[in-house]
Amino acid sequence: MSERSYSRRAVTIGGGIAAALGIAAIGVTVPRLFRRHYAASPYDDLFAKLIDRDAALPVGHAALEQWNGKAPTRTMLAATLRPRLERRTLAEVSNAELAQGNLREVQGWVLPESLVLLCVLAALER
Amino acid sequence: MLEPDLAILGGGPAGVSLALALAHTPIRTMLFESGGLEFDAATQALYAGREAGVRYLPLDGSRLRYLGGSTNHWGGWCRPLDAIDFEKRDWVAHSGWPFGIATLKPYFKRAQGLLEAGAWVYDRADPIMGSQAPLMPVGDGGVYTSWFQFSKTRDGVLPTHFGDRYAGDLKQIPNLRVFLHANATALNLSANAASLASIDVATLTGRKIAVKPKVVVLAMGAIENARLMLASNGVATTGVGNQNGLVGRYFADHPIPRDTATLVHFAGDLPGYYFNGAQAGDAVLRATFAPTEEFKRTRKVVGSLTTVENPVEMTELDKAAIVTAALAVGADASNARAYSLGCGLELEPDPDRRLTLTAERDALGMPRLKLFNKVSDRDFQRYRDTMREFGRQLLAAGTGMIRLNYSTRGEWENALDWGDHHLGTTRMHNDPAQGVVDANSKVHDTSNLFVAGSGVFPTYSASNPTLNLIALTLRLAQHLKGVLR
């Protein structure tokens, strides 16, 4: 059995690397741990277009509050959004709508229409 | 009896500019200024009146009555009118000047010189200021980055007060006499009402002078010019120049609603020239956002000038909206900063926004005025449409976003302030049925009476009026040199 010896310097460097990797791993993992988990939904194909579904929720709720009970149903929203988002990214749709002036306001924020409808759908399906 | 060639009534920016422009001519000029060299409460009280309708500033609070006039409290903001401002626009009732911008252009740079506003760089400031710090890219659309320049003294102190600055120059003019504390109280028409025969001038101490000039120029500001014309009803019972009932109508100012919108800049802090004037050579410039000419035509909006005011805190909803929108267009908003926006708006001309005489009298026996003020829903909506377009194009460019802060009339009115820019009460039009003065600023049907100042503007632009009214006054000076040859 051979006995390996480690210098204090090597131990310090190795420990530092291990600590850095640990912090990095926590940095990656913790937000995922704390990010809200959503139950499976018939609209997941649409929600997949949202990069940050958590951030979309307050926007959707604000739009619902503004519409004061006159929001379309989830089925209607999905039926509107699916043809627009099928085979296109949200960025493509948003940029096209901005170019066309197809806009909605949510508490004054000027936003592309499909983005607002997607936020509303997310708020209804929370 | 004083008998000058020319009597200038009023020693504000128009009156002083006119006197300076005629300095090297043989025209014997007298300038009558109501105030002295300093503020005096008793003189200022002559301005008091009543206001009705949409909340407005007190009539004695939005002007100053001593040599230099309202340049004694102005902010020094300068920007020329745009070419479209002169056009008859089918979406703006009562619009159209009798001439285009080319008529006024030869006088702009001299006006800029009188205002000590530095080199004329309004239309080429993007690269100049961009070399100090990059401009916020606003993308393609209906709103572009435009520029104010600022009047300043030689030491860079803002702005030029015409009384302090030019009192000495006026004294040096051989053919000019300046009368201080001298108030015009009546314009006396000839018996056939075809010309002005004389003027009554009075002091608050009880002295009275009769003046019989060959030509008279009213330069007392849009409110007092109209007041004197309406009150001078000894021969023509409706007043001087008021045969068609237009004197005092079409009053306007620039509404300045505060915190109208929130601008988010994704890339972080905006350069200082968006908030304050920044030096560039001998000029001081500040960025503003204005609707393009094409956008005005296609979307039927009018002028507006939007400025960045202060950084503002973002709510949780704001942050969510910013993150969601930025991600949706593929932009990085991790350094986003939010700012409140203010603006100056152009109003659509409205004959019912008007000045009328009341039964109340001031210390000189002059009838006091009542202002009925109005802002239409369409005036607000046009600005809202412009800012919505700004929000669209910023997000399309991936550089920022806009939140519109007001949607109801009550919200707009609560935020309303005013520019102290009095406009339109003696409007210019070739047709006497539609204007008080003709294209040369002469009162229709009165052969020797002219009006200077922004009261003759038939439409108002969103630009601050001082630079433009001085350019127009310099043009009038050129015309008077011919009239009094």
Query: Are residues A50 and A28 part of one domain?
Result: no
- Percent residues over pLDDT 90 in chain A: 63
Q: How high is the mean pLDDT of chain B? A: 97
Count of structural domains, chain B: 2
Q: How far is A59 from chain B (nearest CA, A)?
A: 6
Tell me whether residue A7 is in a domain: yes
Contact check, Cβ <8 Å, A101/B391: no
Query: A50-54, B168-172, B300-304, B363-367: which range is least confident on average?
Result: A50-54
Query: Are residues A107 and A86 part of one domain?
Result: yes
* pLDDT per residue as tens digits for the range B447-476: 999 999 999 999 999 999 999 999 999 999
pLDDT bin (cut points 50, 70, 90) of residue A37 is confident
Residue that finishes a domain, picked among B386, B415, B444: B415
Query: Are residues A118 and A77 part of one domain?
Result: yes
Q: Is B335 exposed, middle or buried (0-12, 13-18, 19+ CB in 10 A)?
A: exposed
Residue B193 sits in which domain range? 1-116+162-251+424-485
Query: Are residues B313 and B407 part of one domain?
Result: yes
Q: Dihedral, CA atoms, B36, B219, B229, B52, nearest 10 degrees?
A: -80
Candidates B264, B312, B324: best to mutate against A (most CBs of A within 10 A) is B324
Tell me whether residue A39 is in a domain: no
pLDDT over threshold 90, residue A34:
no
The complex scores an ipTM of 0.90
* pLDDT per residue as tens digits for the range B407-444: 999 999 999 999 999 999 999 999 999 999 999 999 99
Tell me whether residue A116 is in a domain: yes
| Predicted local confidence at residue A20, as pLDDT | 58
Tell me whether residue B142 is in a domain: yes
What distances in angstroms separate CA A63 from CA A57, B317, B338, B350, B401, one per listed residue? Answer: 10, 11, 21, 37, 17
Query: Are residues B271 and B228 part of one domain?
Result: no
CA diameter of chain A:
78
| Predicted local confidence at residue B307, as pLDDT | 98
* pLDDT per residue as tens digits for the range B312-336: 999 999 999 999 999 999 999 999 9
Contact in structure between B450 and B215 (CB atoms under 8 Å):
yes
A contacts of B391 (beta carbons < 8 Å): 103, 109-110
Query: Are residues A110 and A50 part of one domain?
Result: yes
Query: Are residues B228 and B185 part of one domain?
Result: yes
Structure tokens at B471: 């350019």
* pLDDT per residue as tens digits for the range B20-51: 999 999 999 999 999 999 999 999 999 999 99
CATH number for the domain spanning B103: value is 3.50.50.60
Count of structural domains, chain A: 2
Query: Are residues B468 and B397 part of one domain?
Result: no
- Taking CA–CA distances from B331, the nearest residue in chain A reads A91
Q: How far is B392 from chain A (nearest CA, A)?
A: 6
| Predicted local confidence at residue A106, as pLDDT | 97
Query: Are residues A114 and A72 part of one domain?
Result: yes
Query: Are residues A116 and A68 part of one domain?
Result: yes
Residue that finishes a domain, picked among B363, B393, B415: B415
Tell me whether residue B365 is in a domain: no
Query: Are residues B188 and B139 part of one domain?
Result: no
Tell me whether residue B360 is in a domain: no
Tell me whether residue B353 is in a domain: no
Query: Are residues B184 and B63 part of one domain?
Result: yes
Query: Are residues A50 and A30 part of one domain?
Result: no
Contact in structure between A49 and A118 (CB atoms under 8 Å):
yes
Query: Are residues B103 and B78 part of one domain?
Result: yes
Query: Are residues A53 and A20 part of one domain?
Result: no
pLDDT bin (cut points 50, 70, 90) of residue B231 is very high
Query: Are residues A23 and A49 part of one domain?
Result: no
Query: Are residues A116 and A67 part of one domain?
Result: yes
| Predicted local confidence at residue A22, as pLDDT | 55
Tell me whether residue B265 is in a domain: yes
Tell me whether residue B229 is in a domain: yes
Name B214's Cβ contacts closer than 8 Å, sequence gap at least 6: B4, B5, B6, B448, B484
Name A4's Cβ contacts closer than 8 Å, sequence gap at least 6: none
Tell me whether residue A67 is in a domain: yes
Query: Are residues B456 and B381 part of one domain?
Result: no
Taking each continuous run of H as one helix and of E as one strand, the counts in chain B are: 11, 19
Q: How far is A117 from chain B (nearest CA, A)?
A: 12
Residue that finishes a domain, picked among B360, B395, B415: B415
Tell me whether residue A18 is in a domain: yes
Tell me whether residue B278 is in a domain: yes
Contact check, Cβ <8 Å, A112/B328: yes
Residue A52 sits in which domain range? 44-124
Exposure letters B217-241 (e unless 16+ CB within 10 A, then b): bbbbbbbbbbbbbbbbbeebeebbb
Query: Are residues A25 and A61 part of one domain?
Result: no
| Predicted local confidence at residue A1, as pLDDT | 39
Tell me whether residue A119 is in a domain: yes
